[in-house]
Structure 1
Amino acid sequence: MTPASAPAHAPADHPKIKPARTGILIANLGTPDGYDYWSMRRYLNEFLSDRRVIDLPRWKWQPLLQGIILTKRPFSSGANYKLIWNEEKGESPLMTITRDQTEALRARAHAEWGEQVMVEFCMRYGNPSTHEVLDRMVKAGCRRIVFLPLYPQYAGATSATANDQLFRALMEQTWQPSVRTCDPYFDRPDYIAALADSVRRCLGDRKPGKLVASYHGMPKRYLMQGDPYHCQCQKTSRLLQEALGWEDGIVDTTFQSVFGREEWLRPYTVEHVAELARQGHDDIAVISPAFAADCIETLEEINGEIRESYEEAGGKDFTYIPCLNDDPAHIEVMMNVIRENIGGWVSRS
Structure 2
Amino acid sequence: MPAMTLDDFRALIADLPSADGAAMAGALSRNGQLTKPPGSLGRLEGVAIWLAGWQGSEKPRVLAPQVAIFAGNHGVVAQGVSAFPAEVTVQMVANFQHGGAAVNQLARVAGAAMTVTALELDRPTADFTAGDAMTADETAAALQAGWDAVLDSADLLVPGEMGIGNTTSAAAIAHALYGGTPEDWVGRGTGVDDQGLARKASAVARGVGRLGTRDPLGVLAGVGGREIAAMAGAILRARHLRIPVLLDGFIACSAAAVLQAANPQALDHCMAAHVSAEAAHGRLLTALRKEPLLNLGLRLGEGSGAALAINIVRAAAECHSGMATFAEAGVAGG
Normalising by structure 2, we get a TM-score of: 0.28
| Structure whose alpha-carbon radius of gyration is higher | 1
Could you say which structure has the higher strand fraction? 1
Higher relative contact order (CA 8 A, sep 6+): 2
Normalising by structure 1, we get a TM-score of: 0.27
